[in-house]
Amino acid sequence: MFESAEIGHKLEKSVYRREVPKLRRELLDLQYKLLKDGRFQTIILVNGVDGAGKGETVNLLNEWMDPRHIHTHAFGEMTDVERDRPEMWRFWQALAPKGRIGILFGSWYTDPILKRVMGHEKRAEFARRLERIRHFERMLASEGTLLLKYWFHLSRKTMKKRLEQLSAHKKTAWRVGPEEWEHYKHYDQFVDICEDALRETSTGEAPWEVIEGSDPYYRSLTAGKLLYDSLAARLKSGPPVISPPPPPPAPPLDGRTLLASFDYTRKLDSREYARRLVRAQGRLNQLTRSKKMRERSIVMVFEGMDAAGKGSTIRRITQAMDARFYRVIPIAAPSDEERAQPYLWRFWRHIPGHGRAVIFDRSWYGRVLVERVEGFATEFDWTRAYHEINDFEEQLTEAGAIVVKFWLAITPREQLKRFKARQEIAYKRFKITAEDWRNREKWPQYERAVNDMIDRTSSDVAPWNVVASDDKLFARMETIERLAERIEEAL
């Protein structure tokens, strides 16, 4: 991939001088168009060989355009807040919102490549991480993000020359330390591995552009023009067509579904409940205080039809925990900051660090439930969501999170009873709205969506727990006991 980036590309200073003023005007113009359009963000990754002009290019882009609407992030050492969350968390936090340009200096490629070069990770692990990156970038592209990936390259000889030049000048010597020379020592390996990485991740929706970095005029004008072309094309012609995920799940031919064949009749009497509740809550409490929890976190997801008892079940769980340990996140309409980001962003921001739990009352599964049924998401959006969600939960798990998901299953008859009861009680009346009655009419569509969701997102690392919830006591007990079991297993 680097062949034509080692031939010594060059540009006359006079050409550069002539071209740049026009390019700047055009870039600035496009930047403001993007800001006004506001429907997507542009994310530029700046990666490559040391000394190939990455920093200079980032500065130049900030100089050519209006830096007030550019979000530049450089990724160095992880902070302690970042360290006990999934690796991608810090990149999610740094995503520029729609309408803006984000420049990422160093990116999700840096760590996999360096770990591989230094021999800290095997080939298979490297391949797995590239695979994850492909999925992530595909998700970004599907969400409308314009993702531009620039790789700045230098031949071995030029790299050496460049490092020597930088070291020789007082003003630039600080930029070359032992780390840079160490990288140079591994040049061949480094370039080999980068070549693999770039080839494996040059996809239709987010191809790499390799730019030879030895001549500043050539390098700068190339980067600027590439950005101009991509942004102009995108603003003109709209988002690219991304090959759709597999067709939406078809209902089973025999009409038998998981939920339809589920046993809703299980019950627990109140004496038994009282007895077991104390024990189960005690067990849960002890588990959350276990020393092993310091390296783990818990992410709980509660989903269910309206009035399935999510709130009251969650309260039986929080009762068992110290209030400093958990946080409950009720998911309602997104804020405008959340709307300006890819779908999963609003969940990523709440991911707990080690030693903490987060309980989602409704969750990212909204996409394949309410958004699917009500048509808030396109078919393309909700069908691709299954994979995106699985990938998200896998990342959580790998970072030490114990992901526990509950579907509180009630029958339409029981829901009706509860709706009516709620209307009787003053402080519960606000919980029942016209919308709840409307949703109820779509019960079959919702049930189909739930069946598909469970089929497609019940994974080894994060299986669904379907809990019979017509009887509240049974549901609560079952939930707490299964939760404690899952945590115990995981620790």
Q: How far is the CB of 66 from a copy of itself (least distance, A)?
A: 7
- Pick the binder of a copy of itself from 55, 239, 240, 249 (CB under 8 A): 55
Contact, 225 vs 219, CB < 8 A? no
Asked whether the CA dihedral 88, 150, 144, 138 is positive or negative, the reply is negative
**Closer residue to a copy of itself in complex, CB, 250/323:** 323
What is the per-residue DSSP string for 96-127? PPTTSEEEEES-TTHHHHHHHHTTSS-HHHHH
Query: What are the beta bridge partners of residue 468?
Result: 409
Residue 143 makes contact with a copy of itself by CB under 8 A: no
φ, ψ for residue 72 (rounded to 5)? Answer: -100, 130
| DSSP classification of residue 335 | P
Query: What are the beta bridge partners of residue 303?
Result: 407
Site of tokens 């970042």: 82
**Closer residue to a copy of itself in complex, CB, 258/317:** 317
Residue 216 makes contact with a copy of itself by CB under 8 A: no
Residue 357 makes contact with a copy of itself by CB under 8 A: no
Site of tokens 């591994």: 186
**Closer residue to a copy of itself in complex, CB, 275/315:** 315
* Longest alpha-carbon distance in the chain: 89
Instruction: Mark the segment that binds a copy of itself (CB under 8 A) among 65-73, 140-148, 187-195, 236-244.
Output: 65-73
Residue 212 makes contact with a copy of itself by CB under 8 A: no
Residue 236 makes contact with a copy of itself by CB under 8 A: no
Residue 330 makes contact with a copy of itself by CB under 8 A: yes
Residue environment code for 118-148, b if the CB has 16+ CB neighbours within 10 A, otherwise e: eeebeeeebeebbebbbbbbbbbbbbebbbb
Q: How far is the CB of 411 from a copy of itself (least distance, A)?
A: 25
Amino acid, single-letter form, for residue 128: R
Residue 491 makes contact with a copy of itself by CB under 8 A: no
**Closer residue to a copy of itself in complex, CB, 198/314:** 314
- Pick the binder of a copy of itself from 66, 188, 192, 229 (CB under 8 A): 66
**What x/- string results for residues 429 through 468 when contact with a copy of itself is judged by CB under 8 A?**
-x--------------------------------------
- Pick the binder of a copy of itself from 3, 179, 263, 336 (CB under 8 A): 336
| DSSP classification of residue 207 | -
Instruction: Mark the segment that binds a copy of itself (CB under 8 A) among 70-78, 152-160, 394-402, 446-454.
Output: 70-78
**Closer residue to a copy of itself in complex, CB, 126/364:** 364
- Pick the binder of a copy of itself from 3, 80, 254, 424 (CB under 8 A): 80
Contact, 202 vs 208, CB < 8 A? yes
Residue 424 makes contact with a copy of itself by CB under 8 A: no
- Pick the binder of a copy of itself from 134, 327, 346, 387 (CB under 8 A): 327
- Pick the binder of a copy of itself from 14, 243, 270, 335 (CB under 8 A): 335
Query: What are the beta bridge partners of residue 402?
Result: 298
Q: How far apart are CA 67 and CA 369, in angstroms?
A: 40
Tokens of 79: 């902070």
* Site residues (CB under 8 A) for a copy of itself, limited to 149-178: 174
Contact, 156 vs 188, CB < 8 A? yes
Residue 408 makes contact with a copy of itself by CB under 8 A: no
Residue 38 makes contact with a copy of itself by CB under 8 A: no
- Pick the binder of a copy of itself from 2, 9, 71, 186 (CB under 8 A): 71
DSSP H helical ranges for 328-433: 336-339, 345-348, 370-373, 379-398, 412-424
Asked whether the CA dihedral 113, 117, 118, 120 is positive or negative, the reply is positive
Tokens of 178: 């032992």
Query: What are the beta bridge partners of residue 328?
Result: 359
Asked whether the CA dihedral 245, 250, 256, 259 is positive or negative, the reply is positive
Site of tokens 């360290």: 83
Residue 294 makes contact with a copy of itself by CB under 8 A: no
- Pick the binder of a copy of itself from 1, 11, 328, 473 (CB under 8 A): 328
Residue 105 makes contact with a copy of itself by CB under 8 A: yes
φ, ψ for residue 374 (rounded to 5)? Answer: -85, -5
Size of the site for a copy of itself (CB under 8 A): 46
**Closer residue to a copy of itself in complex, CB, 386/406:** 406
Contact, 211 vs 5, CB < 8 A? yes
- Pick the binder of a copy of itself from 4, 8, 10, 67 (CB under 8 A): 67
Amino acid, single-letter form, for residue 59: N
Residue 23 makes contact with a copy of itself by CB under 8 A: no
- Pick the binder of a copy of itself from 318, 390, 411, 451 (CB under 8 A): 318
Residue 230 makes contact with a copy of itself by CB under 8 A: no
Kindly give the interhelix angle for 379-398 and 123-142, rounded to the nearest 10 degrees. Answer: 140
- Interface residues with a copy of itself (CB under 8 A) are 25, 28-29, 32, 36, 55, 58-59, 61-63, 66-72, 74, 79-81, 103, 105, 174, 289, 311, 314-315, 318-319, 322-324, 326-330, 335-337, 361, 426-427, 430
